[in-house]
């Protein structure tokens, strides 16, 4: 099995397994959900900045299914984000999800002071498979923005409790980012 994906998994024999064999697909799905949950709880040392996610990505911003812009973003070691000026990269991280999707979030400071947050999902199985097949990693999600601190001050204390509502409607800016070929000086 693959190490550093969902954690290192040691297979058990049927004699070691204490769960009864499933009789229906619904029971099998329930068993799988319990197994994955127990694996996640036993693997607290998963990095928020895995090596296979680090690298350059081509990011396509889309509204109503049409590409409105293409840029290059480099997700660097330790959560660093590199983008072309006048934008400024802030932070990124990968959080494991409760199912087969992990959440990749990165933030960029625009030239007008707004913080754009890109929050996308990556299929864990596709990410693991990409290690062997060398296919590019693809992350899809939505873009939200935070107001500048001065604007947030007039919103009141409740603003900070729900600062980044994700509202995925047809006119929401969505994105698709695809990992591009790594360069020799990547991450430096």
Between 127 and 157, the higher pLDDT residue: 127
CA 179/CA 133 separation, integer angstroms: 14
Whole-number Å distance between alpha carbons of 97 and 79: 18
Whether the pLDDT of residue 11 is over 70: the answer is no
Confidence bin at 113 (pLDDT 50/70/90):
confident
Assigned token pair, 44? 């607290």
Task: Give the tens place of pLDDT for each residue, 25-34.
Answer: 888 888 777 7
- The answer to whether the Cα torsion of 150, 152, 154, 158 is positive or negative is negative
Answer whether 127's CB lies under 8 Å from 140's CB: no
The arithmetic mean of pLDDT across residues 100-117, rounded, is 88
> Is residue 139 scored above 80 in pLDDT?
yes
């Amino acid at each position: 099995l693959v190490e550093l994906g969902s954690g290192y998994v040691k297979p058990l024999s049927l004699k070691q397994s204490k769960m009864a064999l499933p009789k229906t697909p619904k029971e099998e799905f329930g068993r799988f959900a319990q197994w994955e949950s127990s694996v996640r709880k036993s693997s607290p040392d998963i990095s928020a900045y895995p090596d296979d996610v680090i690298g350059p990505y081509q990011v396509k911003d889309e509204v109503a299914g049409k590409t409105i812009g293409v840029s290059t973003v480099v997700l660097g070691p330790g959560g660093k984000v590199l983008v072309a000026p006048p934008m400024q990269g802030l932070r990124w991280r990968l959080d494991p999800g409760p199912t087969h999707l992990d959440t990749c979030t990165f933030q960029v400071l625009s030239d007008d002071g707004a913080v754009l947050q890109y929050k996308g999902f990556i299929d864990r199985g596709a990410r693991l498979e990409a290690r062997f097949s060398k296919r590019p990693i693809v992350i899809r999600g939505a873009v939200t923005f935070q107001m500048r601190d001065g604007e947030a001050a007039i919103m009141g204390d409740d603003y900070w409790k729900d600062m980044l509502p994700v509202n995925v409607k047809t006119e929401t800016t969505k994105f698709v980012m695809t990992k591009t070929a790594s360069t020799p000086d990547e991450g430096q």
